[in-house]
C-alpha cells in the first residue's frame, strides 16, 4: 500500500514537472519569435504596409496564445468547490480527556500547578502585564507551557486568554466600584492594551459594560 502511494506521488510530481516544462517552452518560444520579429523589423525586412499586416497577425496570435495558456492552466487547477475527501477533511478538536491521555501529568501534580497559577494571578498580579503569554506564565511558576495548558483545560476548564481576561475583568470591577479613576486608566492598569479590547472582554465576563457598572 505504501509503495503504491509512493509511486502515485512520484508520478504526480513528474506530471506536474512536465506540465511546467511545457508552459515554460511555450513562453520561451513566444519570446523568441517576438525578438526575431523585432530584429527583422530593425533591419528593414518589412515594408510599412507589410509591417502593419504582420503586427496585426502577431497581435492576434499573441492574444490567442495567451488565452490558450490561461484556459489550459485553469482547467488543470483543482476546482474551488470540490467536496473534500473524508480522509482530507480537518479532524475535529479532541476533548481534553482524550487530547492529554498520553500525558505524564497526573492529577496531584496538576492540582499543584493549578494552585501555582492561582497564586501567580491573585498574589503576584501577573495578569496586569500587558504582553503576558502562556510561556511567561509557565516560566513564572517554573512549569512547562504544555503542562500549564493541560492544567488550564482539564482542571480549570478554560483557555489561557479566558483565565487572564477573567482576572483582569475582576480587578476592573473592584476599581470601577471603589475608585474614581477613569475607565481608560483602569483598562490599562489591569493589563489591557486598548479601550476596545477592555470593553469586549469585560462585557463577555460580566454581561455589562464598564459604563453600566458606574451608573
DSSP string, 115-137: HHHHHHHHTS-GGG-TT--HHHH
Residue with cell 479532541: 94
Band of residue 25 on the pLDDT scale cut at 50, 70, 90: low
The pLDDT, as a whole number, for residue 3 is 40
**Residue that wins the pLDDT comparison between 55 and 165:** 165
Task: Please write the tens of the pLDDT for every residue from 146-163.
Answer: 999 999 988 889 999 999
Distance CA 145, CA 137 (A): 8
What integer pLDDT is reported at residue 131 of this predicted model?
94
* pLDDT at 94 exceeding the cut of 60: no
- Provide the grid cell at 143: 512549569
pLDDT at 16 over 80: no
pLDDT at 10 over 60: no
Task: Decide which of 33 and 208 is more confident.
Answer: 208
- pLDDT one-digit tens code per residue, 42-89: 555 555 455 555 556 665 666 666 666 566 555 444 444 344 444 444
pLDDT (0 to 100) of residue 81: 39
Does residue 127 carry a pLDDT above 90?
A: yes
Residue 37 cell numbers, joined: 520579429
Helices and strands (DSSP H and E) totals, the chain: 10, 0
Percent of the chain with pLDDT over 90: 45
- Alpha-carbon distances, residue 22 vs 11, 14, 61, 122 (angstroms): 17, 12, 18, 67
pLDDT of residue 154: 87
d(C-alpha 190, C-alpha 138), whole Å = 20
Which of 12-16, 18-22, 53-57 comes out lowest in average pLDDT? 12-16
Quickly tell me which residue has 492529577 as its cell: 107
- Average confidence (pLDDT) over 111-115: 93
- Confidence label for 95 from pLDDT (cuts 50, 70 and 90): low
- Inform me whether the pLDDT recorded for 2 exceeds 60: no
User: Cβ(202)–Cβ(209) under 8 Å?
Assistant: yes
8 Å CB contact between 102 and 63? no
**CA–CA gap between residue 193 and residue 163 (Å, rounded):** 17
Amino acid at each position: 500500500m505504501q509503495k503504491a502511494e509512493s509511486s502515485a506521488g512520484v508520478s504526480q510530481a513528474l506530471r506536474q514537472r512536465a506540465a511546467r516544462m511545457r508552459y515554460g517552452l511555450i513562453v520561451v518560444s513566444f519570446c523568441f519569435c517576438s525578438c526575431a520579429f523585432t530584429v527583422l523589423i530593425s533591419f528593414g525586412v518589412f515594408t510599412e504596409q507589410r509591417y502593419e499586416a504582420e503586427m496585426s497577425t502577431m497581435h492576434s496570435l499573441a492574444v490567442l496564445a495567451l488565452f490558450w495558456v490561461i484556459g489550459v492552466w485553469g482547467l488543470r487547477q483543482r476546482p474551488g468547490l470540490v467536496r473534500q475527501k473524508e480522509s482530507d477533511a480537518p479532524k475535529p478538536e479532541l476533548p481534553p480527556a482524550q487530547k492529554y491521555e498520553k500525558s505524564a501529568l497526573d492529577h496531584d501534580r496538576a492540582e499543584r500547578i493549578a494552585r501555582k497559577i492561582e497564586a501567580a494571578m491573585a498574589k503576584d498580579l501577573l495578569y496586569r502585564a500587558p504582553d503576558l503569554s502562556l510561556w511567561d506564565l509557565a516560566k513564572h511558576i517554573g512549569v512547562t507551557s504544555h503542562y500549564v495548558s493541560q492544567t488550564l483545560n482539564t482542571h480549570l476548564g478554560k483557555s489561557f486568554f479566558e483565565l487572564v481576561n477573567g482576572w483582569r475583568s475582576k480587578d476592573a470591577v473592584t476599581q470601577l466600584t471603589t475608585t474614581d479613576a477613569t475607565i481608560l486608566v483602569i483598562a490599562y492598569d489591569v493589563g489591557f492594551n486598548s479601550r476596545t479590547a477592555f470593553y469586549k472582554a469585560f462585557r463577555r465576563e460580566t454581561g455589562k459594560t464598564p459604563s453600566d457598572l458606574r451608573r
